[in-house]
Chain A
Amino acid sequence: DGGITQSPKYLFRKEGQNVTLSCEQNLNHDAMYWYRQDPGQGLRLIYYSQIVNDFQKGDIAEGYSVSREKKESFPLTVTSAQKNPTAFYLCASSTSGFAEAFFGQGTRLTVV
């Protein structure tokens, strides 16, 4: 089945630790995105990538980093510089033009 796989589903981070969230897609999409969702809030764009080896900051990139070494993969690292990382993180991908964005099932990150 084609789709987007995010792992893990739940992640716990201690203060001061970096953690990496995985996002893999087998839809052959060029573009991939990371969004953050806080309770009762909308989706805010963290980073996006339109092509391999290139990515751009979104609205709330501070404290996050990404890489795009393969078309299928777009991992997100939440660094210790992100002061309030507890949130639901969503990865998405799309083709160009009037294209549907497909979302993964999300990773819920909690700082303990």
Chain B
Amino acid sequence: QQQVKQSPQSLIVQKGGISIINCAYENTAFDYFPWYQQFPGKGPALLIAIRPDVSEKKEGRFTISFNKSAKQFSLHIMDSQPGDSATYFCAASMGSGNNAGNMLTFGGGTRLMVKP
């Protein structure tokens, strides 16, 4: 079974701190690793994504670190803000090739609270 394991389930960080969320996967055929951000009562929205040909990708305060040999990837939120409080999902898929779809396997989610 294709699985993506995410930790921690919940995280509390002080404003200005660093939030770190980790994910591990099993299927070595996965080649696309996005992170989604979800606010209460809303659908998830893509935050940042990485492909396995790079070890790190940074967009503003958000960084993905990718360790292919360990089959792990993580999201780092620098200078965390109260507005970052949301649920974060990692995901993985086999996005390459001629597949007409991009079926994502999601981690269990991390509920982040950033205290002012």
Identify the A interface with B (CB < 8 A). 4, 6, 30-31, 33, 35, 40-45, 48, 50-51, 90, 92, 94-106, 108
Contacts and interface: CB of A to CB of B under 8 A. Distances in A.
Interface of B: 6, 9, 31-32, 34, 36, 41-46, 49, 51, 89, 95-104, 106-109, 111
Nearest to A103: B43
B49 to A, nearest CB: 7
Contacts of A102: 46
Contacts of B107: 42
B41 A94 contact: no
The 9 closest A-B pairs by CB, nearest first: A103-B43, A31-B101, A50-B100, A42-B108, A98-B95, A50-B101, A43-B106, A94-B102, A99-B102
Of B45, B95, B101, the most chain A CB neighbours within 10 A belong to B101
A106 B103 contact: no
B43 A96 contact: no
Contacts of A33: 101, 103-104
B96 A105 contact: no
A42 to B, nearest CB: 4
B103 A96 contact: no
A51 B44 contact: no
Of B45, B100, B102, the most chain A CB neighbours within 10 A belong to B102
Contact of B102 (A40, A98, A106): A98
20 contacts: A30-B100, A31-B101, A42-B107, A42-B108, A48-B103, A50-B100, A90-B44, A92-B43, A94-B102, A96-B98, A96-B100, A96-B102, A97-B96, A98-B31, A98-B95, A98-B96, A100-B46, A103-B45, A104-B43, A106-B42
